[in-house]
Amino acid sequence: MARLARAGWVGLATVVAVVAAVLSAPSVALADSAPADAATPVTVSADSLPTTQINGVVWAQLIVGDTVYVGGEFTRSRPAGSARGVNEVVRNNLLAYNLTTGKLITSFNPNVNGAVRALVASADGTRVYAGGGFTKVGSETRFRLAAFDTGTGALVSSWKPVVNAQVKALGIFGNTVYAGGTFTVASGQSRTMTASFATSNGALGTWTGQPDGGAVNAQYAWAWGDGTTERAATATATHTYPGAGMYEVVLTVTDTAGATASDTQTIVATDPPAPPITAFAGDAFGRTITRGLGSADIAGPWTTTGSTANYSVGDGVGKLQAAAGQTVNAYLPGATSVDTDLTVSMGTQQAVTGGGTYLSAIGRRVEGNDYRARAKLLASGAVQVQLMRGATSLKYLTVPGLSYAAGDQLKLRLQVTGTSPTTLKAMVWKLGDAVPEAWQVSATDSTAALQQAGSIGLAFYVSASATLSPMTATFDDLIAEPSH
């Protein structure tokens, strides 16, 4: 089976930074095998390894010694082989398990209140750094960045930088942690999508980085360690290795003045633990597409209505654009179920005017009709959560205490379960706030044409009275799994 490794570069013309390898390939988890000769380095084994299971989606995994740290969006963990709901323990968005045995490490339970999207370790392996959409770790406030002591599992009290929006990527080199995401402010200073922090105390660095092409017009030459080389004009590259193993990767950077510098890193290509099988659709929108939405991470290609110019993917989000009085729709026909629990992050890039805007998550679509939940955003800042059968309202509520402004991110969760009748439930909250303890609206419906499995999708409508037009809605971190 081929293994993918992604290498990344952080730095200026005369600085060669870390080659970061992100390995991905579907398969069973693998563990290190003990060499027969103590002088022989530990190698990769093909023995299958049962690992702890979760009830959501994994966005990042990191191996430090004999420990695997797992970040994502989940609330429960259970031993391998246990059915859903059996032998479960609470683990919110971050856990760790033993690489050799696959068993959950019970002493590590940080209780993170939002998604964990990225993980990196210090060079000496004494700290793990996490980034994502969270605002609390246990009872401690941490605005989307946190560090943990690998020896004790404790939150590092002295490391607490602040960014104002989600972190989606982390890198580390020397005594600096690099962060990338949708933020615009870091520790009170302007930082657009990239920032750096001291590994010791989280102090903001002077590096500002430029995510679109970088600050240096450089050429990057990769020697992948398997006899192949590659030249690129960008600071990241992906390489497919012929098999698992250790590879010495050399990156040489040449700037426009002809100055060069090189760095060598050893990476290990191996199959990660098997991803959770509960999600039947998922999309982190990590690609770049100028027309259309391309293919989701799980469930295949998106289909859209109207002009493909109204749809794009970039900056880590899917974008739907609509003029006043217009509806745009995106569907995942490859994701069908009769019991669906769908969660998605969403927002608008412009202020809401006129009669408001509507952002919808579709939980069951059958031949043009559907069940959906939608968030109606009003010009006053108020937010309504609505349950719909097509254009027919089944239940709605103006959410107490919830307000919205352009640039905010909301989470919308919709559950569509059963047939004759079908039960619909929904809730909406601001990203980073506590998840509501109960469903905000619920309803039942027995429309005959919809009492069967259907696909999922997204929709965006701008009222005809809107004074800002067109408007762009953003969607991110879509997850659909069987209801539970």
Q: What pLDDT digit, counting tens, does each position of 180-212 carry?
A: 998 999 999 999 889 999 999 999 998 877 544
| Predicted confidence band of residue 256 (pLDDT cuts 50, 70, 90) | low
Q: Is the pLDDT of residue 262 over 90?
A: no
Residue 109, pLDDT above cutoff 80: yes
Assigned CATH topology for domain 281-481: Jelly Rolls (2.60.120)
* Amino acid at the residue 388: M
Q: Determine the pLDDT at residue 277.
A: 52
Higher pLDDT, 22 or 439: 439
Q: Average of pLDDT values for 22-26?
A: 29
Of 88-102, 223-237, 290-304, 398-412, give the lowest mean pLDDT range.
223-237
The amino acid at 266:
T
pLDDT digits (tens, 9 = 90+) for 323-348: 999 999 999 999 999 999 999 999 99
Mean pLDDT lowest among 82-91, 240-249, 351-360, 440-449: 240-249
Q: Where in the sequence of the chain do the CATH 2.60.120.200 domains occur?
A: 281-481
Q: Given this model, what pLDDT does residue 144 score?
A: 96
Compute the distance between CA of residue 195 and CA of residue 216 in angstroms, rounded to an integer: 17
The mean-pLDDT minimum among 136-145, 277-286, 440-449, 450-459 falls in 277-286
Per-residue pLDDT band for 284 (boundaries 50, 70, 90) equals very high
Q: Which pair of structure tokens corresponds to residue 366?
A: 């059958």
